Amino acid sequence: MEYLGAERESEVEYEISRSRFIARIAPAEGVDAGLEYVAAVKRAYPDATHHPYAVTGSPESGAFRFSDDGEPHGTSGTPILNVLKKKELYNTVIVVTRYFGGIKLGAGGLVQAYSHAAALAADAASIARFRLSAIFRAELDYSEFRLLDPLLKATEARIYDINYAERTTAEIAVPVVNRERFESGFRALTEGRPDKIGYLKSKYFTYKR
C-alpha cells in the first residue's frame, strides 16, 4: 500500500492581468490536517482576496475537500482538485492565494489561472512515494547496532530517529510487506529478547533520502 504525495511545503508565484496567484503545496496526513494548513495560510495572509484550495486524503479513504473561497462557483477549487487528481497526489493540499489586481478575468480566465498556478506548484514540488509502514522503537547495545545494517537493507527499512547514549535507541520504519521478515531477523540478531524492540504504530512513511 503506497501513494505519491508532496514531501515538503513549497510555493510558486504566478501573475496575470496584475493579479498575483501564490500557490502553496504541502503534505497533509489526511483531509483535516489539510484544512488546518489552509486555515494557517489564511491567518498568515489575511489581506489576500481569496484562498481557494483542494486537499486529498489517503487512497484508502478516497476523501477530498475543496473550496472556491468566494470566487465564482467552479472557477478555482475544482481546477485545483483536478490538478491533484491528474498528478495522482494523495495526502496533499494545494492552496492558491490571490491578490486581485483590479482587472476581472472572467470565469474562463479564472479557471485557467487557478489551474496553471496549481500545476506550477505540483510541478515544482518534491514528490515522494509513501509506503504504509510499521514503526518500531529498538534499544540495542553498540555491538548489536553495528550488525543491524544488513537487516535494514534486506527489508528496505530505515532509521529515522536515533539517540546514542549508553545504549542506542532508534525508531525504525519498515514497509508492512516486510514486517515479518524484519521481526524475524531482529529476533535472530538479539537472540529473541522481547525487551529489545517494541511496535509503536503504523503510518505512511517516505523512504526517499
- List the CATH number of the domain containing 50: 3.30.230.30
* Of the residues 81, 103, 125, the one at which a domain ends: 125
Is 23 found in the same domain as 112? yes
Is 137 found in the same domain as 104? no
192 has a pLDDT exceeding 90: no
45 has a pLDDT exceeding 90: yes
Residue 9 CA, distance from chain mean position: 9
Identify the bridge partners of residue 172 per DSSP, sorted by sequence position.
Answer: 136, 159
Is 136 found in the same domain as 91? no
Domain hosting residue 141, numbered range: 131-206
% of the chain with per-residue pLDDT over 70: 99
Average confidence (pLDDT) over 114-131: 96
Is 77 found in the same domain as 9? yes
Is 164 found in the same domain as 113? no
H helix or E strand, kind and range, residue 54:
strand 53-56
The CATH number of the domain where 148 resides is what? 3.30.70.240
Residues 97, 85, 39: CA angle, nearest 5 degrees: 30
Is 183 found in the same domain as 98? no
Is 74 found in the same domain as 24? yes
Is 45 found in the same domain as 141? no
Rounded distance, CA 63 to CA 197, Å?
34
209 has a pLDDT exceeding 70: no
177 has a pLDDT exceeding 90: yes
178 contact partners, CB below 8 Å, separation of at least 6:
155, 156, 157
Is 139 found in the same domain as 86? no
Is 94 found in the same domain as 57? yes
> Residue 41 corresponds to which amino acid?
V
166 has a pLDDT exceeding 70: yes
* Of the residues 125, 160, 195, the one at which a domain ends: 125
What confidence tens digit (pLDDT) does each residue in 2-17 have?
Answer: 999 999 999 999 999 9
* Cβ atoms of 122 and 87 closer than 8 Å: yes
Is 153 found in the same domain as 119? no
Residue 208 pLDDT: 66
Domain count, the chain: 2
40 has a pLDDT exceeding 90: yes
What confidence tens digit (pLDDT) does each residue in 50-107 have?
Answer: 999 999 999 999 999 999 999 999 999 999 999 999 999 999 999 999 999 999 999 9
Average confidence (pLDDT) over 159-182: 89
Mean per-residue pLDDT of the chain: 93
Which SS3 state, helix, strand or coil, does residue 18 take?
coil
User: For residues 164 and 80, which has the higher predicted lDDT (pLDDT)?
Assistant: 80
Is 185 found in the same domain as 152? yes
Residues 89, 53, 44: CA angle, nearest 5 degrees: 115
* Of the residues 90, 125, 160, the one at which a domain ends: 125
160 has a pLDDT exceeding 90: no
